[in-house]
Amino acid sequence: MSDLPSTGLQLRSLITSAGQLQLSLEETDVPPPGDDEVVVQVGAAPINPSDLGLLLGMADLSSAIQGGTAERPTITADIPAGPLATLGGRLDESMPVGNEGGGVVIAAGAGEEAQALLGKTVGVLGGAMYSEYRTLNVHQCLQMHDGVTATEAASCFVNPLTALGMVETMRMEDYSGLVHTAAASNLGQMLQKICLADDVPLVNVVRKPEQAQLLRDIGASYVCDSSQDSFTQDLTDAIAATGAYLAFDATGGGELASQILTAMEAAAVATASEYSRYGSTQHKQVYIYGGLDRSPTQLRRAFGMAWGIGGWLLTPFLQKAGREKSQALRQRVADEVRTTFASSYAGEISLAGALQLETLQIYAQQATGQKYLINPGA
Amino acid sequence: MSDLPSTGLQLRSLITSAGQLQLSLEETDVPPPGDDEVVVQVGAAPINPSDLGLLLGMADLSSAIQGGTAERPTITADIPAGPLATLGGRLDESMPVGNEGGGVVIAAGAGEEAQALLGKTVGVLGGAMYSEYRTLNVHQCLQMHDGVTATEAASCFVNPLTALGMVETMRMEDYSGLVHTAAASNLGQMLQKICLADDVPLVNVVRKPEQAQLLRDIGASYVCDSSQDSFTQDLTDAIAATGAYLAFDATGGGELASQILTAMEAAAVATASEYSRYGSTQHKQVYIYGGLDRSPTQLRRAFGMAWGIGGWLLTPFLQKAGREKSQALRQRVADEVRTTFASSYAGEISLAGALQLETLQIYAQQATGQKYLINPGA
């Protein structure tokens, strides 16, 4: 581990002001670590839905063209004018990609915390993780227990902290139960496990009977299947039974958020003691944290006046929660990385493999379930 | 003023479980005042948009039928099945109507505060104000300065405190400017006057050139007319110039809230120092406080992740603001009732006049501007 590489391959996404997406692998400097820094050899980095915006820039993938060589493939594609207009801040600037990953610390700065990580496997929330090597501040690294692999550490942050963040948000905003959509996802399964461990009532919303079964198999008490005729009534009953007036919605578009608020209102009215002309006084909140359905959100507003909808992102949540709470959540992930927070993947690919047309098409179409893992050393 | 009436006429709205709206005038007991209570002879009570839900219960007014006598008219109308299903809490219960009004205290309980109000003109937020007499707690009354009439005191609460509440909400939630829609309304004019006095940047959104002129005439610096082709750019420029990232929307339906959030995001991105993959970090908030457009709210979500939309109501705001702050706001209304908070009316009608078919049709169709005043003594 003593031969510190001076450069390494890195996946880059460039959008030109002429409206072209260019994906490539670039040889990039690996800076030697400062006192509080370490160099991580990246072993695995997932392609999360939250990486796709930066990676693909809303390109029209039907226009994508393969180029370059087998070792250094490239992909180019057109960006439609509408999305292009919103990308002003990143035009003509080559951007590294990859929110999180796992790897081994192969060099460390002189500082005590840095030295303590030498040789350890770490999970990293560092950006630019689709790289062979990353020089990182120690605080971007989460040390794994002995024996945990880079692959097991790869998804330590985005899904686990998002799931934990939902439960913490519930506590911070004085709710006592949660509704979650696209609930059979990797993240949804983590959330169900957390809620079981922490005794938090959780209402899972899924779209298919087999997803309902998957959640019941890991202990879910409340699963509402939107493909069933009884969905509205099921959801209302589950909310009335659990008092779950805070929802996290991964889909964003269409009428689901409105349906949830309407069911919450019906549950609140059913359990209220008197008529209020402006609807129930129970505050009802939906946070949209994903955009699986990119169509407009439609709100029918038949749910009184005590309601809110908003965007929810992990980073602002962690800033709001503060350093101590965030550290406690991270440590829980490290402690339960093989159980509560275990992830599964559709497959593992190399950096060059990530820049193949067929791969692009697959993960651009991914719904909630399976995701790919990039192994930069493969 | 010593002959305390034992009964008085009161306007009542009843919805039967069979789906019929019944409006009538009922002779109702006037309870003698307790120690902390006064009896107010109501001189004027406005028909606000916020009264119409309780008054009309979403009835189909094309089915309305006049009945009763000239002195005791009645109106009946059908309630469609959809709305009827949401009215469970009030079925078969005769409800008094009228959020606010003004009048003279004609009797007072033994308590010091009650005695101090005897003979005074007061503004009242008491409910059931479409009545000849109301027995009320002293804290529901706002004493006017000498010479102010019941008509001038009639609209002391709903519009003035809503307008003041918008500015206070801005301060409580750490914003530094406001966007307001349907801005040429009575309430919108009050808000503009408050913002001028308090040096708060205000972006007014209107639908017609003459409304823009009306606001400019009272000193508005920023007026964006949604009927103009340049609306989107005008709104973005005004938000960038003012830093107004909090909006209050009276319309609710359609795409206006989404347009405002999109303009806020464009303004935030234009003034931001670096690209953020999830959009700007500037939080953008729209509160919907009215429902002039009852169609669904459509959110195109092209405004990053730092955003929120929600319902806003006066009463929960006042509870959140606390007693001391609420009292200060009320006193400001009393002090400026003839200037900042002066209201105008389309006309004045008696209690019997309020139960005429032609009157009903008029105020059910009212947009933002003119409203009627009921004078129960007429």
Q: pLDDT (tens digit, 9 = 90+) per residue, A91-147?
A: 899 999 999 999 999 999 999 999 999 999 999 999 999 999 999 999 999 999 999
Q: How many CB atoms lie within 10 A of CB A293?
A: 18
- For residues B90 and B22, is the Cβ–Cβ distance under 8 A? no
pLDDT at B1: 44
Q: At which residue do the structure tokens 């670096």 appear? A: B274
- Across the strands, what pairs with A35? none
Rounded to the nearest 5°, which phi and psi values hold at B276?
-125, 130
A276 falls in which pLDDT band (50, 70, 90)? confident
Contact A252 B296 (CB under 8 A): no
**10-residue stretch averages of pLDDT, chain B, 378 residues long:** 82 95 97 97 92 89 94 95 80 94 97 97 95 96 97 96 98 97 94 98 96 96 97 97 97 96 94 77 95 92 94 93 95 97 91 91 64 87
Q: Which residue shows structure tokens 């003035």? A: B160
Give the C-alpha separation, B354 to B332, whole Å.
31
ipTM of the shown complex: 0.86
Pairing of strands A372-374, A347-349: parallel
Q: Exposed, middle or buried, A252 (CB in 10 Å: 0-12/13-18/19+)?
A: buried
Which backbone phi and psi does A69 adopt, to 5 degrees? -115, 175
d(CA A16, CA A18): 5
Instruction: Choose the mutation target among A297, A315, A319, A320 for the interface with B, i.e. most B CBs under 10 Å.
Output: A297
- Predicted confidence (pLDDT) at residue A307 exceeds the cutoff of 90: yes
Residue count of chain A? 378
* pLDDT tens digit sequence for A177-202: 999 999 999 899 999 999 999 999 99
- The answer to whether A46 and A154 are in contact (CB under 8 A) is yes
* Strand partners of residue A372: A347
Instruction: Show the beta-strand stretches assigned E in B151-210.
Output: 178-181, 202-206
pLDDT at A369 over 60: no
Eight-state DSSP code of residue A219 = T
B-chain CB neighbours of A307 within 8 Å are 310-311
Residue in A305, A310, A313 closest to B311 by CB: A305
User: A4-36 burial string, b = 16+ CB within 10 Å, else e?
Assistant: eeeebbbbbbbbeeebbbbbbbeebebeebeeb
Residue of B305, B307, B319 to mutate for A, most A C-beta atoms under 10 A: B305
Which residues from B are below 8 Å from A when comparing CB atoms? 53-54, 86, 88-90, 93, 252-253, 258, 269, 272, 274-278, 281, 288, 291, 294, 296-302, 304-313, 316
* Contact yes or no for B277 and A93 at CB 8 A: no
Q: Can you tell me the distance from the alpha carbon of A255 to that of A232, in angstroms, rounded to the nearest whole number?
A: 12
Subunit contact A299:B297, Cβ cutoff 8 A: yes
What is the pairing mode between strands A284-288 and A246-249?
parallel
Check residue B292 and give its pLDDT: 85
Site from B15, B265, B271, B277 to mutate, A interface, most A CB atoms within 10 angstroms: B277
Which of helix, strand or coil describes residue A25?
strand
Asked if A311 and B307 come within 8 Å (Cβ–Cβ), the reply is yes
Global model pTM greater than 0.95: no
Structure-token match 């506590």, residue found: A171
Cβ contact B88–A269 (<8 Å): yes
Q: Find where tokens 């550290």 sit.
A: A327
Instruction: Report how far apart, in Å, the C-alpha atoms of B293 and of each of A262, B256, B362 are.
Output: 19, 10, 17
CB pairs under 8 A between A and B: 94
Gyration radius of chain A's alpha carbons: 22
**According to the model, what pLDDT value does residue A366 have?**
62
Q: Which chain A residue has its CA at the smallest distance from B298's CA? A: A298
Q: How far is CA B37 from CA B78, B117, B119, B121, B333, in A?
A: 38, 10, 14, 15, 22
- Partner-chain contact B291 A297, CB within 8 Å: no
Mean pLDDT of A324-330: 96
Q: Å from B273 to nearest chain A CA?
A: 9
Sort out which chain A residues have CB atoms less than 8 A from B274's CB and list them: 89
Residue at B360: amino acid letter: L
CB contact under 8 A, A308 and B313: no
Name all contacts of A236-239 with Cβ < 8 Å and 24+ positions apart. A236/A263, A236/A266, A236/A267, A236/A270, A237/A267, A238/A203, A239/A177, A239/A179, A239/A203, A239/A263, A239/A264, A239/A267
Candidates A218, A230, A208; CA nearest to A188 is A218
A185 CB-contact burial (10 Å; exposed 0-12 / middle 13-18 / buried 19+): buried
Chain B CB contacts of A313 under 8 Å are: 278, 305-306
B240 burial (CB, 10 Å; 0-12 / 13-18 / 19+) is middle
Report which secondary-structure segment, H or E, holds A205: strand A202-206
Question: In angstroms, what separates the C-alpha of B311 from chain A's closest C-alpha?
Answer: 5
Cβ distance of B86 and A275 shorter than 8 Å: no
What is the rounded average pLDDT of the residues A220-232? 97
CB contact under 8 A, A53 and B277: yes
pLDDT higher than 50, residue A325 = yes
**Alpha-carbon distances of B42 from B39, B127, B160, B350, rounded to whole Å:** 9, 12, 19, 12
Q: Nearest-CA residue of chain A relative to B251?
A: A301
For position A84, what pLDDT does the model report? Answer: 83
Beta-carbon contacts of A172 under 8 Å, excluding residues fewer than 6 positions away, are A320, A321
DSSP count for chain A of H helices, then E strands: 13, 20
Report the distance separating Cα B190 and Cα B188, nearest Å. Answer: 5
Q: How far is CA B256 from the centre of its chain?
A: 20
Residue B369 has what pLDDT?
A: 52
Name the average pLDDT for chain A: 93
The DSSP 8-state label assigned to residue A148 in this structure reads: -
> B248 and B180 in contact (C-beta within 8 Å)?
yes
Stated length of chain B: 378
The residue in chain B having the minimum alpha-carbon distance to the alpha carbon of residue A275 is B89
pLDDT of residue A278: 74
Interatomic CA distance for residues A373 and A154, integer angstroms:
8
Give the single-character DSSP code of B144: P
Q: Residue B366: what pLDDT?
A: 62
pLDDT digits over B291-315, tens only? 888 899 999 998 999 999 999 999 8
